[in-house]
Amino acid sequence: MSNILPRERISLRAHHLLCLHGFQGLGYDERFVENMTAVCERIRAAPGPEIMVVDEPDDICAPCPHEVGGACGKSGPEAETRARELDHRVMQRLGIYPGQTFSCEEIMALVLDKITPEDLTIVCEGCEWLPFDYCAEGLRKKRLESG
């Protein structure tokens, strides 16, 4: 019998794999920001949790005031469709599909390998945070650190 505990698992929408790099402590309300901060800290901890990639509301969305009935309702009923489109563009770039589970290190390395900061203008088209360049800057910094 092993004394090694299994890694914690969290679910993340595919596009949130990019948002993690740009998170600046801003968000929809205090509860959302606290949760996003906690998720970022868990992912940065060594060893990080296992990550199950999804194309539906995830552990980041759970406290979001716009999450309605298991779907994003930020700007009306089409918001979940747009979020899934973002998820699918990210998954296509990464060559993965919903429900796959990765080590934290593995999925973050895949993101850095397959998505450049310049790619975000296409991959994240329609994201309200894109014009602030937070995620692109976060990816640039991470690439320098790991490069």
pLDDT at 7: 60
Q: Is the pLDDT of residue 4 over 60?
A: no
Query: Quick one: which of 88, 103, 87 has its CA closest to 10?
Result: 103
Confirm if 79 and 72 have CB atoms less than 8 A apart. yes
Query: 137 vs 27, which has greater pLDDT?
Result: 137
The per-residue pLDDT for range 73-131, each reduced to its tens digit, is 888 879 999 999 999 999 999 999 999 999 999 999 999 999 999 999 999 999 999 99
Confirm if 60 and 16 have CB atoms less than 8 A apart. yes
Q: What is the mean pLDDT of residues 124-145?
A: 94
pLDDT at 3: 43
Confirm if 1 and 77 have CB atoms less than 8 A apart. no
pLDDT at 123: 96
How far apart, in whole angstroms, are the C-alpha atoms of residue 49 and residue 124?
Answer: 25
Confirm if 65 and 86 have CB atoms less than 8 A apart. no
pLDDT at 142: 92
This prediction's pTM:
0.91
The per-residue pLDDT for range 48-69, each reduced to its tens digit, is 899 999 999 999 999 988 888 8
- Find where tokens 């360049």 sit: 133
